[in-house]
Amino acid sequence: MKLLFFLFFLLGVIACSSKSEKVVTLDELNAPSEKYQEEANSISQKQIEIYDYDSLSLFSKRLIDTLEITKKSIRRIKTALFPDRFNPIKSEKWVGVYKKDSFVYQHWKYSDSVVAENTFYNYLDNFGTKKIALKFGDKYRISPNAFVLLLQDRSMISVESRIRIDLKRMTAILDTMGFGSQWKLVLFQQQGKKSEWFEKLNLNKKNESSKP
């Protein structure tokens, strides 16, 4: 009798244990924890935010820091633009986007000054997204944004902003960073104003140094 009671008791314990036991699948064992997943997503997002800035030249990084543009707002411009057709030996294009403004910087460097100047005038024949044909000296409101296009020796630089551009400050920054103070040809338009043109512009009388 005691033996029979013991067998019923043992069967009851085994049944209760099997009900309370949780079945764990292989997928659950291999799945990362929620904390790990959050940390991985955070790291991945940070890498995306700073990747474009990290891939820029030291010159661009110095310019971004000087203008106090946040690193995470920088995005490289990967689209081929009209000046890219003339086989620059070096080019760098990026935009910094933030709440009240966007700042676009584009630099093309060519094999010699003849190619650079030829590119400048060809660009004037197909200027901007609307492919406007411009002649040196034309007075137009070309863009709703402020911008400046500068030609110097083998380099052509384009800077654009939604708000006002201080031309003297901008050329001073480019001067201190190695471009020098002399610019062969300049097309400048302040926000809401008509275009202005300059030849042999020298707003900053400083010694020229090696160019980026």
Tokens of 201: 């512009």
- In whole angstroms, what is the distance from residue 104 CA to residue 94 CA? 6
pLDDT digits (tens, 9 = 90+) for 17-62: 554 444 444 444 444 455 545 554 554 555 544 478 888 988 899 8
pLDDT values of the chain reduced to their tens digit, one per residue, 212 residues: 555 555 555 555 455 555 444 444 444 444 445 554 555 455 455 554 447 888 898 889 988 888 888 888 999 999 999 999 999 999 999 999 877 778 999 999 999 999 999 999 999 999 987 888 999 999 989 999 999 999 999 999 999 998 889 999 999 999 888 888 889 999 999 988 999 999 988 875 543 443 45
What is the layout of strands, in order, in the sheet containing 146-152?
74-76, 90-97, 102-109, 155-161, 146-152, 183-189, 195-201
Q: pTM for the complete prediction?
A: 0.71
